[in-house]
Structures are given as structure tokens and as C-alpha cells.
């Protein structure tokens, strides 16, 4: 048995029957050819978006493919090819240091580059799908395939890679295009407010502001086990918002291009009185109600019991279903 404690930020003490890592496409293809990749299997990144409910009776695969390579560059933009095993925030820092615009609002999101393309990570008005140009994969038959961004089927926190039939497509590299022209996304959360503390606006200032905001709200997984935002923000028709505004005139929302609106799940959870409340060893974080935490010794089932209770409260009070962003591994 192989301990998965270092491979899940929730700090759930579970084991896997087998564990394999690889550092290149060639090594992965060799493992497949040798018959080492047996079912059931689960491919993980940094384990920052997983909740294990029990020991995993199969093979855990983990990429250690590194490298950030510039593949194309002109006066306006730069294209880069990044290994799936690169830590996401290291890549963001690299972009900021090189004066490349686009990734800075995604600073300090935990996990690795490969998982960013599976999950379509996002924060502060930016989604990674807007930076991705293609995703390179190897499947269980050791065949390589490059998916264009259009083929990836990106929607809010979703992609074709999350579908059961594509679980055997292992992301090896992600290709991104970043801008060299100055542009920022500032109208989200308290970004503009925080920027008032600084004399000028630069990429590194934006990165610092985003990191400060995240650190003020989100617990460090090394101290308090968590997977960042546990719930997705629900997207509802405009009519549903208007009905809720009758009772909650100050309800926050963000308008989407398709006419629907996104309502912050954290606000609704807070309104239900859950912020800072615990159910056994699992709790809703006291600074950010979107985050569920392991206070110590929690099992996956404890986190799920809390999640179910929170979801029931939101459904009862607002008539809206909220869903976990975290992948539950049963």
C-alpha cells in the first residue's frame, strides 16, 4: 500500500494499492507498453481538487513532466509549451517575470499545469481556457493526440477530459498563448480596492494583490487541510435572480455573456449561517464559506456529510442547487 497523504491537500489519510510516476512522454508510453498501467487507475496532479472517501484499490499515476518552452513569439504575444507536472503557480510566476499578460489573476491556485487544463481553473474573472491553445495527451493505448482548445469542450470548471470515457487520456503538455501587450482584468472581487495601496499598476503588483487577497481568505493546506473552493458558483437564469432580489435586494451576482447570471455560492452559504461552523472534524472556513476544511483527522465521509448539509441549507433557503467543484473519489 502507498500512502496518499502527501498527494491530497485535504490531508485525508488513505492509501493506494499502487503508485507510479513518470518524467517524460517516452517513459509513460513505456509503462503502458510493459502493461504496468492496469485498471482501475486514477491520474492525479497536485491532489488539490480531490476528496478520497476511502483507500484507492488501484493504480495512482502522477506526471513529473517539467519544462516551459517558448514555441512561437512575435511583438504581440508568446506561445509556450508547459509540462503537465509543472506547479501551476510556478508557471504564473514565470509569466509575470517575463512580462507576459493573462495568467496573473490565477496566481496561487494550487495544483499542477496538467490539472489546470482538465478542470478549466479560474479566479477573479479569468479562466485558463482563455489562455490555452492546445492540450497534448497520451491515451491508455500509448497513442499521442493533440486537442485544439475548441475540441476541449471548455465550460465553467469543466472539459471533455472530465468525462468518464476520457479518463484514460493523460495530459502530458499544455500549450498557452500569452499577451505581451499590457492589459488587466480588474473588475472582480476587491482587486481595484486593494490596488489603491500601490502607486502604479504592473504585472507583479497585480500578482501580489491577488496573492494577498487569496491568503487573507483561504487557509494554507499545509496548516488546515482543504481543496480551495469546494463548491462551484451556480449559474441561473436572470428571472431566478430577479425573484431572489425581491427578498434579498443586495444579493451579489455577475452577468454572463449568454444572459444568465452567476451567483456566489460563498455568499449564499454565509447567509445560511454556515461560515465558521463545524460538523465533527469537518468545518466551513471562518473567512471564506466556499472552503471546507479538515480540522484534523477527518475522513472523506466527514467532508461529504458537511457538504450535503450545506447544500441542503442553500437549496431550502434559495431554491438553488450548488455542486462540488472538488472531484469525489469513491
Mark 190-224 as b/e (b = at least 16 C-beta within 10 Å).
Answer: ebeebeeeeeeeebebbbbbbbebbeebbbebeeb
Contact indicator for 33, 49 with CB cutoff of 8 Å:
no
Contact indicator for 99, 203 with CB cutoff of 8 Å:
yes
Let me know if 157 is a catalytic residue.
Answer: yes
Q: What is the arrangement of strands in the sheet containing 282-284, beginning at the earlier edge strand?
A: 225-229, 291-294, 282-284, 278-279
- Mind giving me the DSSP string for 92-156? HHHHHHTT-BSSGGGTT--SBHHHHHHHT-EETTEEGGGTEEEEEEEETTS-EEEEETTTTT-BT
Distance separating alpha carbons of residues 221 and 11, to the nearest angstrom: 8
Exactly one of 18, 64, 81, 157 is catalytic; which is it? 157
Distance separating alpha carbons of residues 43 and 283, to the nearest angstrom: 28
Exactly one of 63, 159, 229, 307 is catalytic; which is it? 229
Contact indicator for 291, 228 with CB cutoff of 8 Å:
yes
Contact indicator for 307, 230 with CB cutoff of 8 Å:
yes
Which residue's C-alpha cell is 450548488?
A: 322
Where do the H-state alpha helices sit in the chain? 25-33, 88-97, 113-119, 191-195, 203-217, 238-247, 265-271, 300-318
Give whole-number Cα distances, 286 to 54, 182, 232, 323, in Å. Answer: 27, 36, 18, 20
Let me know if 325 is a catalytic residue.
Answer: yes
Report the catalytic residues.
157, 229, 325
Amino acid at each position: 500500500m502507498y500512502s496518499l497523504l502527501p498527494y491530497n491537500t485535504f490531508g485525508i489519510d488513505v492509501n493506494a494499492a499502487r503508485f507510479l510516476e513518470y518524467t517524460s512522454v517516452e517513459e509513460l508510453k513505456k509503462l503502458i507498453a510493459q502493461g504496468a498501467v492496469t485498471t482501475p487507475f486514477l491520474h492525479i496532479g497536485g491532489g488539490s481538487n480531490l476528496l478520497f472517501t476511502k483507500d484507492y484499490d488501484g493504480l495512482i499515476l502522477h506526471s513529473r513532466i517539467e519544462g516551459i518552452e517558448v514555441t512561437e513569439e512575435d511583438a504581440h504575444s508568446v506561445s509556450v509549451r508547459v509540462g503537465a507536472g509543472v506547479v501551476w503557480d510556478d508557471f504564473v510566476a514565470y509569466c509575470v517575470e517575463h512580462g507576459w499578460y493573462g495568467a496573473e489573476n490565477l496566481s496561487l491556485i494550487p495544483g499542477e499545469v496538467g490539472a489546470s487544463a482538465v478542470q478549466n481553473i479560474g479566479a477573479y474573472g479569468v479562466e485558463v481556457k482563455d489562455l490555452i491553445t492546445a492540450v497534448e495527451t497520451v491515451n491508455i493505448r500509448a497513442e499521442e493526440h493533440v486537442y485544439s482548445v475548441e475540441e476541449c469542450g471548455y465550460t465553467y470548471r469543466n472539459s471533455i477530459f472530465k468525462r468518464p470515457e476520457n479518463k484514460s487520456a493523460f495530459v502530458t503538455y499544455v500549450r498557452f498563448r500569452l499577451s505581451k501587450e499590457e492589459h488587466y482584468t480588474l473588475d472582480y472581487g476587491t482587486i481595484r480596492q486593494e490596488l489603491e495601496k500601490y502607486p502604479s499598476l504592473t504585472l507583479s503588483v497585480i500578482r501580489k494583490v491577488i496573492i494577498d487577497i487569496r491568503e487573507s481568505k483561504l487557509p494554507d493546506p499545509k496548516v488546515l487541510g482543504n481543496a480551495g473552493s469546494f463548491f462551484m458558483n451556480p449559474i441561473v437564469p436572470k428571472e431566478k435572480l430577479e425573484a431572489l432580489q425581491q427578498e434579498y435586494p443586495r444579493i451579489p451576482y455577475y452577468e454572463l455573456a449568454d444572459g444568465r447570471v452567476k451567483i456566489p455560492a460563498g455568499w449564499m452559504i454565509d447567509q445560511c449561517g454556515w461560515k465558521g461552523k463545524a460538523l465533527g472534524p469537518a468545518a466551513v472556513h471562518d473567512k471564506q464559506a466556499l472552503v471546507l476544511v479538515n480540522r484534523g483527522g477527518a475522513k472523506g465521509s466527514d467532508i461529504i456529510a458537511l457538504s450535503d448539509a450545506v447544500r441542503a441549507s442553500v437549496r431550502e433557503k434559495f431554491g438553488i442547487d450548488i455542486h462540488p467543484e472538488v472531484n469525489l473519489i469513491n
